[in-house]
Amino acid sequence: MNVLKTYSIALSYKVTSFIKGQSICKIQKLKLKKLSIIIVFLTTININAQEKGYEIGFQLNEYQNDFGIGLQLTSPYIFNENVAVRLRTNMMYFQHIDSKSLEYTWTPYTNISLGVFGHRAMIHENIALYGEGGIVGLLPSSNLTSKDLYIGGYGLFGFEFYFIPEFSYFIEAGGMGVDAVADKLPGKPIYSNGFLTSVGFRITFRHRNE
């Protein structure tokens, strides 16, 4: 139990430090505090309900046309093993033509999502199907937009493939709406909206009973 608490606190610290370190994202202190509260909420939810049950993961994403990499943390199941909460954070890259050099470049930005998903339905001995939905906050680069924060929602379904009970690969597809607009670029392109895909792996700290 102490190991799980320590890992959760360490992940929360890394996510918060990462956000603070983004010099291109001028995030107001109040908004940063709200994001920190969300992180603390996830890492403490139902912590005494189960001694095992947290999951950590890594993902590669594509949101609209933007490539990204990120980490995720999943709470133990609650409400009689039917619902869990998942926190994700991603470093995304928006490809565009630089207004000064007139060459293509990647501009990084961050998103953080908090979602709820139901109990996995096992469609095969080692394959599970699940759905997930929630809110997402986008922390844009000051080189792209004049806003500090966009709030929206997302929904997805995923397949999870288990080779051993403690380790799985996953594939996800869905959609998100954030209304993010790069109003500092020619044409004011919309980004990080529409279709999303994600692949990655998860490590669980308990044996599954499915």
d(C-alpha 172, C-alpha 190), whole Å: 23
**What is the pLDDT averaged over residues 55-83?**
92
- pLDDT average, residue stretch 5-16: 47
What average pLDDT does range 190-201 have in this prediction? 95
Spell out the residues 6+ positions from residue 180 whose beta carbon is closer than 8 angstroms to its own.
138, 140, 145, 150, 152, 190, 191, 192, 193
Query: What pLDDT, on a 0 to 100 scale, did the predictor assign at position 19?
Result: 46
pLDDT of res. 208: 46
Region 75-96: mean pLDDT is 90
CATH of 2-204, one of 3.60.70.12, 1.20.1560.10, 2.40.400.10, 2.40.160.20: 2.40.160.20
Residue 62 token pair: 């594509």
Taking the C-alpha atoms of residue 115 and residue 86, their distance in angstroms, rounded to an integer, is 5
101 versus 141: which is more confidently predicted? 141
pLDDT tens across 25-52, in order? 444 444 555 555 555 555 544 443 444 4
Sequence ranges of the domains in the chain: 2-204
Pairwise pLDDT comparison (26 vs 78), residue with the higher score: 78
**CA gap 187, 112 in Å, rounded:** 26
Q: What is the mean pLDDT of residues 143-157?
A: 93
Which residues 6+ apart lie within 8 Å of 48 measured at CB? none
pLDDT of residue 159: 95
Asked if residues 168 and 129 have their Cβ atoms less than 8 Å apart, the reply is no
User: What pLDDT is stored for residue 112 in this prediction?
Assistant: 97
pTM above 0.85, yes or no: no
Instruction: Tell me which amino acid residue 45 is.
Output: I
| Cβ within 8 Å of residue 86, ≥6 positions away | 72, 73, 74, 75, 113, 114, 115, 116, 117, 132, 134
